[in-house]
Amino acid sequence: MNELAGKHIVLGLSGGVACYKAADLCRQLIKEGATVQVVMTEAAGQFITPVTMQALSGRPVYGSQWDAREPNNMPHINLSRDADAIVIAPCSADFVARLAQGRADELLSLLCLARPAASVPLLLAPAMNREMWSHPATQRNLQQVARDGALVLGVGHGDQACGETGDGRMLEPHELLDELVASLTPKVLAGHTVLVTAGPTFEAIDPVRGITNLSSGKMGFALARAAREAGADVTLVAGPVHLETPRGVRRVDVRSAVEMAEAVHALVADATIFVATAAVADWRPASPSTQKIKKDGSGNTPALAFVENPDILAAVAQSPRAQAGELLCVGFAAESHDLIAHATAKRQRKGVPLLVGNIGPATFGQDDNALVLVDANGHRELPRAPKRVLARQLIEDIAARCR
């Protein structure tokens, strides 16, 4: 999936060891379909050569405001007008200070100053030693550039090139890519607080065994990511899955349906949208053993009694805020057959305005899926596509219902 198809990105490098990661970032941007124009400060050239960046981007690198290649001799204007976004990675402490002062004595800070601020986002990926990062001057400058409209990305924590350990590592290229994609996504859910459940639940039989299902959590994680990209504040309540938390999403890990219900009830008061993608176990063993159940050699099997789990979605949908229209509830249905009929009946049974149906065996664990959206007016199909694409389409549909 080409996340950046048709986008033109100015990738600016200032001086820092993390320039080696900028080479990988450049490759990833191009792999996602972007065209990339690299601009380097003189200091960046001490860490990586323009030859490398030209080879990776397929374009000559710019480094001087006096570059005569531009017919009008105004590279700062032309480069910033052509861009869909400007990403400074690495952004050194010195470069932040230059931006904070509005300096314009070399090409990269000059083109940042000249960028059309309303239409071209400026993303800064700081990279520096931990003492430089935590210095009040740096923090003051970062606050200033953020107030001036730049999007200041976070930093990583860990081993630093200088041998020290702490905050100040540049984010990894795939994290920067996610931030860039998010910055270019229309903010159709700005101001909304979204709560998503995802994954299976695990219902213990004894300390080492339990009952679960084949839900991978991928659809719920993709939805959480799409909601965050669309500008929402997002919390993801996740059953036991090994998926990376989408950037900028708060995650609460749970195991059983009862734990998931408790987490949701504690969080839902702040939400304006609740999306239940989790494949919650319908039943749990009535009295899980505190010790491992052993075979006794008789050939007899243990008798398991079950009790029904709380229906999280139905309970939230019945809450006063949902009934008053302050909280939009969206359910999912994983069926094996007669999808539209089952989804239509389930929507009414759960009391939700929108229910999203899919064929369970065809989606569990897959990276793509097909959905049918069922509401009071009928149904609409979203044809088979990567879950990431479907998640975006669903978020657009949900946003339209919130307007």
Binding segment for ligand CTP among 24-32, 127-135, 166-174, 275-283 (CB under 6 A)?
A: 275-283
Write the binding mask 104 to 123 for ligand CTP: x where contact by CB under 6 A, - elsewhere: --------------------
Please report how close the Cβ of residue 121 comes to ligand CTP at its closest, in angstroms: 35
Whole-angstrom distance, CA of residue 350 vs CA of residue 225 = 25
Binder among 312, 322, 394, 398 for ligand CTP (CB under 6 A): 312
**DSSP characters for 263-304?**
HHHHHGGG-SEEEE--B--SEEESS--SSPPPP-SS-PPPP-
Interaction between residue 280 and ligand CTP (CB under 6 A): yes
Output phi, psi for 212, to 5 deg. -145, -165
Note if 162 is an active site residue.
Answer: yes
Per the structure block, which two tokens stand in for 285? 């063993």
Please report how close the Cβ of residue 91 comes to ligand CTP at its closest, in angstroms: 42
Please report how close the Cβ of residue 103 comes to ligand CTP at its closest, in angstroms: 53
Which lies closer to ligand CTP via its Cβ, residue 148 or residue 311? 311
62-96 as b/e: b if 16+ CB within 10 A:
bbebebeeeeeebbbbbbbeebbbbbbbbbbbbbb
Query: How many residues at the interface with ligand CTP, by CB under 6 A?
Result: 16
Q: Which of residues 146-185 bind ligand CTP (CB under 6 A)?
A: none
Residue of 19, 162, 329, 402 marked active site: 162
Enumerate residues 6+ apart whose C-beta is below 8 A from 403. none
Neighbours of 2 (CB within 10 A): 10
Binder among 332, 344, 373, 394 for ligand CTP (CB under 6 A): 332
Interaction between residue 372 and ligand CTP (CB under 6 A): no
Binder among 180, 223, 226, 313 for ligand CTP (CB under 6 A): 313
Write the binding mask 240 to 259 for ligand CTP: x where contact by CB under 6 A, - elsewhere: -----------------x--
Please report how close the Cβ of residue 260 comes to ligand CTP at its closest, in angstroms: 8
| 273 touches 353 (CB < 8 A) | no
Query: Helix-strand-coil percent breakdown of the chain, rounded to 5?
Result: 35, 25, 40
Comparing C-alpha atoms, which of 362, 313, 355, 311 is closest to residue 336? 362
Report the catalytic residues.
Answer: 162
The binding site for ligand CTP (CB under 6 A) comprises 197, 257, 276, 278, 280, 282, 309, 311-313, 331-334, 346, 350
